[in-house]
């Protein structure tokens, strides 16, 4: 029997806030908000609509409570997390799972439901005492759309609330217009920064917990401030969405959405792309001359037989390290403008301007950062020298500020039609810079499932440790990996116009240990893929797909980069390395067997068949097969 929380809601809210909540006529919303007011015991609760006055109230509260501080540019603010709360807490980010499902989830950092639920309720009991809290209504994806996932956030952090108003679309009106049968279907997030110290930072980090209940679409996040742990609408919501898509026949992927622009042909081709961390995801989405729709998370749906995608988010929560005028001119320019940006865990200099690692300017010798009062050379309690900013420092900014945004695609409630998918890893000696997959299934099993990221090495040319990263999504996959992989295959094969899949690798090294191409060579690989989609280039076969011909690439290097591209470099880059690929597939098989013992046998059978195919090619053409030498 549902409890009536009206009296409690009225006692904690202004008349205006209570009326905003009541206007929704949504019992599940009232139950959620009422339960956690009763349990967490905030002093007051403010309810936000989509109005600019409510959003401005959130900004002002973040400043008045010193969760943020003003900078020299009046619309910019800065926030600092606890010195020990600077990244996602993977250890304490767990799924709480019913007993009957626990066996299938044991490799995904899971906890038995009753144990996890009781623990998080114990930790959160009275956690908001004396604090003012806020309830927000937001949407993953465009509002009033087939892609929309409505969400409710309840938090005592006004920095979190401010961040989410930048990163996501406000959706109070969406909730107001829900049909009766839709009113139970939304995501819920309850967050508290917990007890704070004199710096305004979370104290009880030993009780930092992020527990996700994908069975009931609720996330509990306690005793943290760093946005990767506290902003439930980002990667926590992504895990809920991946599980939701499992049962509804769509996909949630860790991908950018962008458009390759061919001005000569007056053509725009939409691509999505997945790359593990430090493998080129953001730099691909932001290639000069192309257009961006989104940089991080995409939803895919089959709409009238078309493979269509939306950017789930409205803003960017980006790593700021090495964002400078040379390497990231578009973002860098926007970070210097007087427009709404939250900087986190960077230095606030004596001039009230932000400074970060790799900014490309001279830093002040003193200021305030995530450490506290900072001077050059200062050391922390462990004897480590504290840098000017944290390596994982961030900026939170609206995507609409970018000059290279594809506004039509960004705002479309029906998404964009996707014609190409890119999967890019990092390895120094195996995968060619760009290769087209023969089919969708081949692409998922040979390009996406085999993704790896190689750790960098102090010794140039030395082989690093290769970390498996299927679909560049392993931190967020919320149900068994084998089933998730099969659902990717089924979705792509279920549309009338299946996108082409391409692999990328920007990190091939030569015999001297140096990278073979410049950072911007990715523009050439992108436009070759675009040309293949539109049947403009012929290609050479390899045992795993199709690669470019030299006579097509050389003119593109000159056109797009004004660089010469030698036949010698081409041959080295696009040589198929048989033994290396066999080893890669064996690593992938071992990883899937470890992560999901119930992986369908047909996946392993496919890889075994490919291994035999490559062995046959090696016997016939040699271990190193040069472009054009392979005949299927």
Question: Can you give 324-358 as a three-state secondary structure string?
Answer: CCCCCHHHHHHHHCCCCEEEECCEECCCCCEECCC
Q: Are 468 and 588 in contact (CB under 8 A)?
A: yes
3-state class (DSSP) for residue 564: coil
Q: Are 319 and 311 in contact (CB under 8 A)?
A: no
Please report the DSSP string for 213-276 in residue order: ETTTTEEEEES--SHHHH-TTTHHHHHHHHHHHHHHT-EEES-EEEEEEETTTTEEEEEEEE--
Helix 601-621 and helix 578-595: axis angle, to 10°? Answer: 170
Separation between Cα atoms, residue 570 and residue 412, nearest integer Å: 40
Which tokens belong to 309?
A: 């995608």
Query: Looking at 40, 252, 279, 578, which residue is catalytic?
Result: 279
Nearest C-alpha neighbor of 231 from the set 136, 309, 123, 335: 136
Q: Is 279 annotated as catalytic?
A: yes
Q: Whole-angstrom Cα distance, residue 183 to residue 180? A: 6
Helix or strand or coil: residue 285?
helix
As a dihedral over the C-alpha atoms of residue 49, residue 54, residue 58, residue 61, rounded to 10 degrees, the angle is: -130
Element (H, E) at 117: helix 113-124
Q: How far is CA 63 from CA 67, 137, 350, 377, 452, in A?
A: 6, 21, 19, 30, 42
Q: How far is Cα 501 from Cα 440, in angstroms, rounded to an integer?
A: 6
Contact between 260 and 527 under an 8 Å Cβ cutoff? The reply is yes
**Do you know the residue count of the chain?**
632
How many other C-beta atoms are found inside a 10 Å radius of the C-beta of residue 351?
11
Task: Compute the C-alpha angle 617/619/623, nearest 5°.
Answer: 75
The candidate with the shortest Cα–Cα distance to 133, out of 232, 205, 226, 65, is 65
Q: Which residues carry out catalysis?
A: 279
């Amino acid at each position: 029997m549902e409890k009536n929380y009206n009296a409690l809601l009225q006692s904690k809210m202004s008349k205006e806030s209570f009326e905003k909540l009541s206007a929704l006529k949504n019992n599940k919303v009232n139950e959620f908000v009422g339960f956690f007011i009763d349990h967490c015991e905030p002093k007051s609760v403010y309810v936000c609509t989509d109005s600019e006055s409510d959003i401005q109230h959130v900004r002002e509260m973040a400043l008045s409570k010193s969760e943020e501080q003003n900078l020299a540019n009046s619309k910019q603010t800065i926030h600092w997390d606890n010195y020990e709360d600077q990244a996602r807490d993977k250890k304490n980010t767990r799924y709480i799972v019913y007993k009957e499902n626990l066996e299938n989830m044991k490799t995904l950092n899971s906890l038995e439901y009753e144990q996890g639920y009781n623990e998080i309720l114990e930790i959160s009991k009275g956690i908001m005492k004396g604090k003012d809290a806020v309830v927000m209504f937001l949407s993953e994806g465009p509002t009033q759309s087939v892609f929309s996932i409505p969400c409710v956030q309840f938090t005592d952090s006004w920095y979190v609330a401010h961040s989410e108003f930048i990163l996501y679309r406000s959706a109070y009106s969406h909730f107001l217009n829900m049909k009766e049968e839709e009113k139970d279907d939304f995501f819920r997030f309850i967050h508290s920064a917990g007890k704070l110290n004199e710096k305004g930072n979370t104290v009880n980090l030993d009780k930092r917990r992020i527990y996700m209940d994908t069975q009931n679409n609720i996330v509990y996040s306690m005793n943290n401030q760093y946005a990767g742990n506290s902003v439930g609408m980002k990667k926590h919501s992504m895990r809920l969405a991946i599980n939701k898509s499992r049962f509804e026949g769509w996909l949630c992927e860790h991908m950018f959405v962008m458009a390759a622009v061919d001005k000569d042909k007056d053509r725009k081709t939409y691509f999505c792309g997945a790359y593990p961390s430090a493998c080129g995801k953001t730099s691909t989405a932001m290639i000069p001359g192309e257009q961006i729709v989104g940089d991080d998370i995409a939803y895919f749906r089959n709409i009238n037989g078309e493979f269509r995608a939306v950017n789930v988010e409205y803003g960017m929560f980006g790593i700021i390290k090495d964002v400078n005028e040379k390497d990231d001119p578009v973002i860098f320019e926007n970070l210097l403008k007087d427009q709404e940006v939250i900087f986190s865990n960077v230095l606030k200099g004596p001039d009230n301007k932000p400074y970060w690692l790799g900014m490309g300017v001279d830093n002040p010798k003193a200021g305030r950062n995530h450490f506290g009062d900072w001077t050059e050379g200062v050391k922390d309690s462990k004897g480590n020298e504290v840098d000017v900013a944290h390596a994982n420092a961030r900026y939170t900014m609206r995507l609409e500020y970018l000059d290279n945004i594809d506004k039509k695609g960004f705002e479309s409630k029906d998404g964009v039609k996707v014609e190409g998918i890119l999967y890019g890893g990092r390895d120094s000696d195996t995968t060619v810079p760009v290769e087209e997959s023969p089919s969708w299934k081949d692409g998922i099993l040979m390009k996406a499932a085999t993704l790896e990221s190689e750790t960098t090495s102090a010794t140039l040319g030395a082989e690093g440790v290769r970390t498996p990263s299927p679909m560049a999504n392993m931190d967020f996959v919320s149900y068994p990996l084998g089933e998730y992989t099969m659902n990717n295959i089924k979705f792509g094969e279920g549309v009338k116009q299946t996108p082409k899949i391409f692999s990328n690798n920007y990190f091939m090294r030569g015999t001297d240990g140096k990278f073979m191409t410049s950072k911007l060579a990715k523009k050439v690989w992108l436009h070759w893929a675009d040309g293949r989609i539109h049947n403009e280039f012929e290609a050479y076969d390899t045992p795993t797909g199709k690669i470019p011909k030299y006579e097509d690439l050389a003119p593109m290097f000159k056109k797009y980069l004004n660089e010469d591209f030698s036949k010698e470099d081409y041959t080295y880059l696009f040589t198929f390395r048989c033994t290396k690929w066999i080893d890669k597939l064996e690593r992938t098989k071992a990883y899937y067997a470890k992560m999901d013992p119930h992986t369908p046998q047909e996946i392993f059978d496919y890889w075994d068949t490919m291994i035999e195919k490559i062995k046959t090619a090696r016997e016939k053409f040699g271990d190193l097969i040069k472009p054009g030498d392979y005949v299927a």
